[in-house]
Amino acid sequence: MIRFGAKVWARAAVLGVPMALVGWGVACSSSSSNGSTSGALGSDGGNGAETSTGVAENFDAMFDGQATLTLKWVVTEQPAFGYGYGDAGGVNAGAGDGGMSVVPGVQVCVYGSDGGIPCVTTDDNGIFNLGGLPPRTNTVISLTKDGYGPVLKAIQTASSDMDGTSNPVRMLLSDDPAPPIGVAVDWTTHGSLSFFALDEPADAGGNFVADIGAAVALTPSAGNGPFYLNGAGDVDLDASALELGGVGAYYNVPPGNYTLTFNDPVNNCAPIDVFFAGYGFPDPPTSVQFPIVAGYTTELVGVICTPKPHLIEAGP
């Protein structure tokens, strides 16, 4: 995968990433600041969390000539638990996002920017254009609207303007049913996480498919999970690794900065170098980093998994 500039977005367009589970129930003000390479901490606006931000390979911006970037994205409504994904039954089936309604009127902010980067609102087509973003920087985007669960997106900006409209941000209605995980979910003082893993190479149609068999571990260990979803979008309480859905979730996670590590016996999994999947590239390289903030779901952090090389012993 080409790592710099706009060249990567062609790959992003064919991901067809499935949605995991988002939280709901609290209307919070948006606020994260963009810091230095050492990782500055951004205020959470009173929720008790700090979000780690920092410049990542900012040097390549000088070659592209853009001092600031614009992020274009679309927000859609996520079907509730058990409703599958998109318009065709399973989380990886059919036309995917074609069955989702767009969400106008969503306030989109750089979390913790304190007005340094003005917030914007999605238009009638659910699309927003957020300008003034620094290149190659770990950034947290917040999305809030009455009636929907607040969402955070941990991203790493590129070196040129970004268009993520082929992989929407999903928001769940506040009055949708709670996930059937056997414990009550605190949507106010804790946060939640949705994650995914996809296989490379893609299928015959050019779409990435779920990585089946990868297990995840959260560091530091916290909250309830992981919970893995099956191909119908339902939580499988007996699952110990990713299933056909390729997505999963954690709930009741205290605010803080976390690392999610993927362990796949047959594939090597590493962060996707496009902006929607979390911060890259942490240690170990099979991990992805992101913040958890009280009252928000950190939505869809994940990895691409490729077959491990086969070692052949040399002859005598």
Q: Residue 11 contacts by C-beta under 8 Å, 6 or more apart in sequence?
A: 1, 2, 274
Q: What is the pLDDT of residue 18?
A: 38
Please say whether the beta carbons of 152 and 293 come within 8 A. yes
Output b/e per residue, 43-68; b: 16+ Cβ within 10 A. ebbebebbbbbbbbbbeebeebebee
pLDDT classification of 272: cutoffs 50, 70, 90: confident
Cα-based distances in Å from 289 to 74, 102, 219, 228: 23, 28, 10, 19
**127-178, pLDDT tens digit by residue?**
999 999 998 888 999 999 999 999 999 998 888 899 988 888 989 888 877 8
Q: What is the mean pLDDT of residues 239-265?
A: 93
pTM, full prediction: 0.76
| Residue 147 vs residue 1, higher pLDDT | 147
Q: What is the pLDDT of residue 263?
A: 94
Amino acid code (one letter) for 228:
Y
Q: What is the mean pLDDT of the chain?
A: 74
Q: Cα torsion for 243, 235, 27, 158, to the nearest 10°?
A: 0
Tokens of 127: 């699309």
